[in-house]
Amino acid sequence: MSEDMELEYVVLTLDDLDDVVDFLAKYFYPREDVSLGTGLTQVDPIAGLCGQKICKSLTSGFSIGARERSTRRMVAVLTADIMTSPSELTEAVYGSDPMAKIFRVLEIGWQKFNIFQDPGVERVLEIHRGCVHPDYCRRGIFTALVQKCIDVAQNDCQIVRIETTSLFSEKACVRLGFETRAIVDYSTLEDGLLDLSKMSFKVMKIMTKPLSAKPAEVPCI
């Protein structure tokens, strides 16, 4: 069975919350470098502000998932929503909590490059988390998730932004025409923010791709 026949890509909603939370807890946080560097995997990854952000993404209409057609099992997740101000990502109270540390890293990324300074940019498609089940890796599914997310949001924003924290996600974005706009070198961040010994990718790349409006249509995903 071909991949197209085996999987169904869907726009995620709050009805998918339990599946998304379970999937991220199992396959995203234990593998994603910034989460590892902050120790997020040692606590409930959906508590507090993180859970709020996941819910916001699922109500946006721009998050995409992939399920097996035969079993309905979730095999890939990409969460995203529209941003109109960088302050939407810098709401955390900073401290020793792993989630607070993650939001501090994200704030540093915005300090490096504020996309709202680009001419004409008022609404940004911000991709937050992307993960593919280990059984389905290296099949182009992550690339497909990002492209389908862009297709759905094409008429709602001027540009898409993503922070890549692995070579895998970076290469996928390069294939889709993203440009690196800024690089955060983890080794230059304040002491105690990240444990670099637990991380394999030592930089975060802020990548963007401009979007051009096209006639409105119902996306086929």
Greater confidence, 46 or 123?
123
pLDDT band at 200 (very low <50, low <70, confident <90, very high): very high
pTM of the model: 0.86
Separation CA 187–CA 182 (nearest Å): 15
Token readout for 7 is 């999987």
Q: DSSP letters of the chain?
A: --HHHHEEEEE--GGGHHHHHHHIIIIITTT-HHHHHHTGGGS-TTSHHHHHHHHHHHHHT--EEEEETTT--EEEEEEEEEES-GGGG-----SSSHHHHHHHHHHHHHHH--GGGSTT---EEEEEEEEE-GGGTTSSHHHHHHHHHHHHHTTT-SEEEEEE-SHHHHHHHHHTT-EEEEEEEGGGSPTTS--GGG-S--EEEEEEEE-----------
Give the residue-averaged pLDDT of 119-123.
Answer: 94
| Percent of the residues in the chain that have a pLDDT greater than 70, as a whole number | 86
- If pLDDT is split at 50, 70 and 90, which confidence band does 87 have? low
4 falls in which pLDDT band (50, 70, 90)?
Answer: low
What sign for the dihedral angle of Cα 186, 147, 135, 52? positive
Predicted pLDDT at 39: 86
Contact criterion met (CB below 8 Å) for 110 and 89: yes
How confident is the model over 5-27, as a mean pLDDT?
92
pLDDT band, very low/low/confident/very high, at 203 (cuts 50, 70, 90): very high
- Domains in the chain with CATH codes: 3-210 (3.40.630.30)
Q: Which pLDDT tens digit goes with each residue over 48-68?
A: 667 778 888 999 999 999 999
Give the model confidence (pLDDT) of 91-119 as tens digits: 444 455 787 888 889 889 999 999 999 99
Mean pLDDT of the chain, nearest integer: 86
Among 10-19, 26-35, 88-97, 111-120, which is the least confidently predicted range? 88-97
The string of pLDDT tens digits covering residues 138-192 is: 899 999 999 999 999 988 999 999 999 999 999 999 999 999 999 999 999 988 8
Of 39 and 78, the one with more pLDDT: 78
- pLDDT value of position 102: 86
Distance between CA atoms of residues 211 and 159, nearest Å: 5
For residue 1, what pLDDT is reported? 36
